[in-house]
Amino acid sequence: MSIPQSGGGPIERHEQLAQYLADGCKPREHWRIGTEHEKFGYCKDTLLPLPYEGDRSIRAMLEGLRDRFGWAPVLEGDKLIGLEKAGANVSLEPGGQLELSGAPLETIHETCDEVNQHLKEVQAVADRIGAGFIGLGAAPVWTHDQMPLMPKGRYKLMDSYMQRVGTMGRTMMRRTCTVQVNLDFGSEADMVQKLRVAIALQPVATALFANSPFLDGAPNGHKSWRSRVWRDLDAARTGMVPFVFDAGFGFEGWVQYALDVPMYFVYRDGQYVDALGQSFRDFLKGELPALPGEKPTLSDWADHLTTLFPEARIKKFLEMRGADGGPWRRLCALPAFWVGLTYDQGALDAAWDLVKGWDAETREALRVAASVDGLQARVGSIDMHDLSRQVLDIAEAGLKARARPGAGGLVADETHFLNALRESVDSGQVPADELLEKYHGEWGGDLDRIYAEYSY
């Protein structure tokens, strides 16, 4: 999850809220790719999750990355809670999931190199302390009580609030992992088209990347339990945001949505001030109960925007949020999928033509069906397997049109990063299908086998 924002003066006019988003507009030559992925750490001998403190711990992992690979520490009080280097950062999700938030890079070749280097560094430190890391959408065996809560003020507040607004918020915090990609837009109109395509096609990403069929040591009835969790977390800040498809939607439409989402906190002097359930609209008027008489800054607005969790969201860039965490090939496949669909205008237009006739009910039904059935999902006349094939064809055409070479010019473009997804479409199986087949077959129901076979 996001770290506290900094910079930005006081908000004196309502127009500054939308302008903050509009300031993210960039010319095409400055569009970049930022890939984020989370993974679960565990002790190799006990197969239990890493605690925050101790010789085999999250803190030991962060210290090892800092000391061996030149990452700079990020502290909250006296707690080491992250690292940063060269535009990238390593941060902690609430249950100790280790996240790489990659630097903004020009090509998928570069972002995949970054992912590979990070995983090599993580493995080097983990091997030294007797830890392992695994990429899955949900913790397959560990219970809620076995998952530690990281010592971050933001998470303490969220943990309390999640119990009031849904049934699965604390499960999301402790026992899920995702991979996502952050992309740029060139104008308000470009943002709108990309966001609409992103929302409509997140179910395709959910289906292709489905990798969380287990919870509490057994099958849970879903290919993507992580996606199921997000459907019962907090209706005010999650979901398929249907207003994005309304005529006239733009930056101000997102502002109005964000203003209606209850607050979590205000960050002041290194501390998270409890503003749970309070209104940013009141904050703008100087009437926030948590800080009476005080008005927000643009950094407060930026912080608030990080507490919105729909399937795709905008800040000064666009975030694609619908995929489960997974094996390394799919960490590179997700940026390829979305860059192919959105960074070439012909591909973006083709993707929009594919989805523009769907209504809100269809989009939501696809979201639900994808989480349950993966590529076998069907909504009305829409077959997810066929839809995924069409979407991959568009993404491949977009990557070919981008024609960004790699490996010193030996690789003509970025299309090979889609190979893992193409294999799924050809076989009809996503990672969850493979896991279930092994569970019911050679593993004989022993989920402890997953760690040795699927860790990084």
pTM flag (> 0.75): yes
- pLDDT of residue 406 exceeding 80, the answer is yes
Q: For the chain, give the longest Cα–Cα distance.
A: 64
- pLDDT value, residue 8: 75
- CB atoms under 10 Å from CB of 281, counted, come to 13
Domain residue ranges of the chain, discontinuous segments joined by +: 15-446
- Segment 288-295 mean pLDDT: 98
Selection from 180, 112, 108, 185 nearest residue 342 by Cα: 185
Q: Does domain 15-446 have CATH number 1.10.246.90?
A: no
Q: Model confidence at 105, in pLDDT bands (50, 70, 90)?
A: very high
- pLDDT value, residue 359: 98
User: CA-CA distance, 13 to 119, in Å (whole number)?
Assistant: 45
- pLDDT of residue 188 exceeding 60, the answer is yes
- pLDDT of residue 6 exceeding 60, the answer is no
List, for residues 418-448, the tens digit of each pLDDT value: 999 999 999 999 999 999 999 999 999 999 9
- pLDDT of residue 282 exceeding 60, the answer is yes
Looking at residue 449, its amino acid is: R
- pLDDT value, residue 227: 98
List, for residues 112-165, the tens digit of each pLDDT value: 999 999 999 999 999 999 999 999 999 999 999 999 999 999 999 999 999 999
Alpha helices in 243-383 (DSSP H): 251-260, 280-284, 298-305, 328-342, 345-355, 360-373
Q: What's the whole-number average pLDDT of the chain?
A: 97
User: CA-CA distance, 302 to 267, in Å (whole number)?
Assistant: 11
DSSP code of residue 286: T
pLDDT above 70 covers what percent of the chain? Answer: 98
Where b means 16+ CB within 10 Å and e means fewer, 121-131 reads bbeebbeebeb
List, for residues 206-241, the tens digit of each pLDDT value: 999 999 999 999 999 999 999 999 999 999 999 999
- pLDDT value, residue 249: 98
What six digits make up the tokens of 87? 């535009």
- pLDDT value, residue 1: 54
List, for residues 36-58, the tens digit of each pLDDT value: 999 999 999 999 999 999 999 99
- pLDDT value, residue 288: 98
- pLDDT value, residue 113: 97
